Amino acid sequence: MPCYRIPKTFLTIYPMRSVELKILDTTLRDGEQTPGVSLTVEQKLLIARALDSLGVDIIEAGTAIASEGDFKAIKEIANAGLNAEICSFARIKEIDIDAAADADADSVFMVAPSSDIHIKSKFRDKTREDVIEMSVKAIEYAKERGLIVEFGAEDASRADLEFVKELFRHAVDAGADRLTFADTVGVLTPERCEAIMRELSSEFKVPIAFHGHDDFGLATANTIYAVKGGAKEIHVTVNGLGERAGNAALEEVVVALEVLYGIKTRINKKRIYDTSKLVEKLTRVVIPPNKPIVGENAFTHESGIHTSAILRNSATYEPISPEMVGRKRTIVLGKHAGRASVEAIMKELGYKATPEQMKEILARIKEMGDKGKRVTDADVRTIIETVLQIKREKKVKLKGLNVVCGKDIIPTASIILEIDGKEFVGAGVGLGPVDAAINAIKEVVSEFADIELVSYHVDAITGGTDALVDVIIQLKRGDKIVTARGARTDIIMASVEAFIEGLNMLI
């Protein structure tokens, strides 16, 4: 397998090498165990297809025995003609294995407790010897049912390593095809993880996999060190979803392995961002803005000094290009907005300013920022237009809005918008009054343009129920993202105002 070529400007800590590395994605199993996440069969199929085109080797699609929905999802995914191996989670129980086989899974990730704390609290009267016996029986049965068996030791990082090895020896004798060392509660350190992987890889002929959790923020580091130690397979989830603090994040592990360690995976990195956004949308677990690789701010620049350097040479403040992971760079104007970013907006709008006007524009932006206000694109446009004395005709105007909400009724909104002088009426329902109002606008606007709401942020300026509410939203159309604000004492009106302001910038 050819090595990944690292651009000369990137720091490479270790020499490039080829490793036969498999990626098991467990977004649909461990990821779905994220508190509050529940996916329908259709949603699971959508994510599975995305993971397949992303290029993951194994998709752990759920736990066939867990529910009718999970069983159905695994069956549909297994029969969707994907390239990836489709895997079901299973305990060391015949009913679990039967469910996985009946759901047409290619493989099972079969897990046995290995630490004494897990053995005692899960099986009560059972001993280590019982766990070995049950595991052997279950593996033999799964092989009889024609499944690939990936046998995992749960909570292995808190178990007696000698017992884990004994368990693994019996597992291999019983026919296990791969072995997984699970850091179930995320207590491994990278050094220990590497040492354990080295020890296991030298002792066992079957591939060793590592399953890491992020309780101490070390999941990515541990997973990379597992590969250094000889792991041939790693478990990850998109956006690092998973129980508690989550699992190792696919995007972080893959990009770090390839860019910093020169270890190639089969992941199509250009599809990382779209996959991440799909998972965010369907799981409703919002990606923190400062999350590596996929966070909204990962390739966003605000400071004036930075932006002018970035515009000259993007490598100044970016370790990788956003395009590598299927993204685009965003320049946001803040209190540090410098001449370069203001000029970029002026150019886009087709305006020209005299040196005095430019000085005045920059001074006003700074003043706003110094007062602690977030400076949005809309603010900068307003400032530019005020200083240049340009009156902008608004294309979209709010003519009427009616929202009904309360107990035992679905929040419903109807709206009248004037677009280019013509009136349009729209209606929408939602989870709440703001959602309903925004959906009503979207219904009208969808005929004109494909607008996506990227983020929605509310601040109450002062305390109290009569406070002024400041809504800041980001809207996206194609590659273009704009930020707009609405400030009112009425949260629905503030939201609608911000949305319409954003539309005026985009349409």
Task: Give the range of 22-30, 102-110, 250-258, 359-367 binding Mn ion by CB under 5 A.
Answer: 22-30
CB of 440 to Mn ion, least distance (A): 42
Q: Is there a contact between 113 and 154 (Cβ–Cβ < 8 Å)?
A: yes
Q: Is there a contact between 109 and 148 (Cβ–Cβ < 8 Å)?
A: no
CB of 487 to Mn ion, least distance (A): 44
DSSP, res 13: S
Q: Is there a contact between 291 and 255 (Cβ–Cβ < 8 Å)?
A: no
By C-beta, is 25 or 30 nearer to Mn ion?
30
CB of 183 to Mn ion, least distance (A): 9
CB of 431 to Mn ion, least distance (A): 30
Residue 272: both structure tokens together: 């990382």
| Rounded Cα distance, 410 and 431, in Å | 7
Q: Which residue is nearest to Mn ion (CB)?
A: 30
Which residue type sits at 275?
Answer: T
Task: Give the range of 25-33, 38-46, 93-101, 153-161 binding Mn ion by CB under 5 A.
Answer: 25-33
Q: Is there a contact between 165 and 158 (Cβ–Cβ < 8 Å)?
A: no
Q: Is there a contact between 232 and 20 (Cβ–Cβ < 8 Å)?
A: yes
DSSP, res 233: E
By C-beta, is 167 or 493 nearer to Mn ion?
167
Q: In what order do the strands lie in the sheet with 422-429?
A: 396-404, 412-419, 422-429
CB of 247 to Mn ion, least distance (A): 6
CB of 143 to Mn ion, least distance (A): 24
Residue 85: both structure tokens together: 């191996």
Stretch (H or E) spanning 111: strand 107-113
By C-beta, is 246 or 502 nearer to Mn ion?
246
| Rounded Cα distance, 120 and 11, in Å | 47
Which residue type sits at 71?
Answer: F
| Coil vs helix vs strand at 388 | coil
CB of 444 to Mn ion, least distance (A): 45
Task: Give the range of 24-32, 129-137, 297-305, 482-490 binding Mn ion by CB under 5 A.
Answer: 24-32
CB of 226 to Mn ion, least distance (A): 14
By C-beta, is 26 or 483 nearer to Mn ion?
26
* Window 462 to 501, contacts with Mn ion (CB under 5 A): none
Q: What is the DSSP string of 254-285?
A: HHIIIIIH-B--S--GGGHHHHHHHHHHHH--
CB of 260 to Mn ion, least distance (A): 25
Strand pairing report for 452-460 and 422-429 = unpaired
By C-beta, is 30 or 377 nearer to Mn ion?
30
List residues bridging with 459 in a β-sheet.
470
CB of 83 to Mn ion, least distance (A): 24
Residue 181: both structure tokens together: 């060392």
| Rounded Cα distance, 130 and 264, in Å | 41
Residue 423: both structure tokens together: 């009136």
Stretch (H or E) spanning 484: strand 480-488
By C-beta, is 30 or 32 nearer to Mn ion?
30
CB of 391 to Mn ion, least distance (A): 59
By C-beta, is 166 or 215 nearer to Mn ion?
215
Task: Report if residue 60 touches Mn ion, rule: CB under 5 A.
Answer: no
| Rounded Cα distance, 277 and 203, in Å | 41
| Rounded Cα distance, 383 and 445, in Å | 27
By C-beta, is 30 or 233 nearer to Mn ion?
30
By C-beta, is 184 or 276 nearer to Mn ion?
184
Binding pattern to Mn ion, positions 30-49, x when CB under 5 A?
Answer: x-------------------
Which residue type sits at 405?
Answer: C
CB of 211 to Mn ion, least distance (A): 6
**How many residues bind to Mn ion according to rule CB under 5 A?**
1
Task: Give the range of 5-13, 27-35, 312-320, 493-501 binding Mn ion by CB under 5 A.
Answer: 27-35
By C-beta, is 244 or 352 nearer to Mn ion?
244
Q: Is there a contact between 262 and 16 (Cβ–Cβ < 8 Å)?
A: yes
By C-beta, is 243 or 470 nearer to Mn ion?
243
Nearest 10 degrees: Cα torsion 59, 295, 449, 400: 120
By C-beta, is 246 or 334 nearer to Mn ion?
246
Task: Give the range of 29-37, 108-116, 162-170, 467-475 binding Mn ion by CB under 5 A.
Answer: 29-37
Chain contacts with Mn ion (rule: CB under 5 A)? 30
